[in-house]
Amino acid sequence: MNTGRFNAATRWQTESQEELAVLEEEFHNLIVWNDDVNTFDWVIQSLVEVCSHEPIQAEQCALIIHHKGKCSVRKGSFEVLRPQAEALIDRGIQATIDY
């Protein structure tokens, strides 16, 4: 009887570890890079419209981008981040997704 409980616990632990590994693999960062072309207002507006940021959040990201050279503006799966990165790039903003 103890063997049955041990196997169930072991199976549960293994399944949880596999699920955790899947979750860890799915999350990426959408990174916006600093440039000498785009204005603060344009970057802020773009983050609000494309990434659904609140204006204050977008402003803080723009300041980080300016002072640090880049900022992770969103986290999520590649499938969710890709259209947002493409939309930012279409607006002339340098954006990448990390792996």
- Overall residue count recorded for the chain in this entry: 99
What is the band of 26 on the pLDDT scale with cuts at 50, 70, 90? confident
């616990």: which residue's tokens? Answer: 9
Instruction: Return the CATH number at 51.
Output: 3.30.1390.10
Task: With respect to residue 8, please indicate whether it lies within any of the assigned structural domains.
Answer: no
Task: With respect to residue 87, please indicate whether it lies within any of the assigned structural domains.
Answer: yes
Rounded to an integer, the average pLDDT of 64-75 is 98
Residue 17 confidence (pLDDT): 63
Reduced to 3 states (helix: H, G, I; strand: E, B; else coil), residue 27 is coil
Domain count, the chain: 1
Rounded to an integer, the average pLDDT of 74-84 is 96
This prediction's pTM: 0.74
Share of the chain above pLDDT 90, in %: 73
Reduced to 3 states (helix: H, G, I; strand: E, B; else coil), residue 29 is strand
Q: Which of 67, 64, 68, 69 is nearest to 44 (CA)?
A: 64
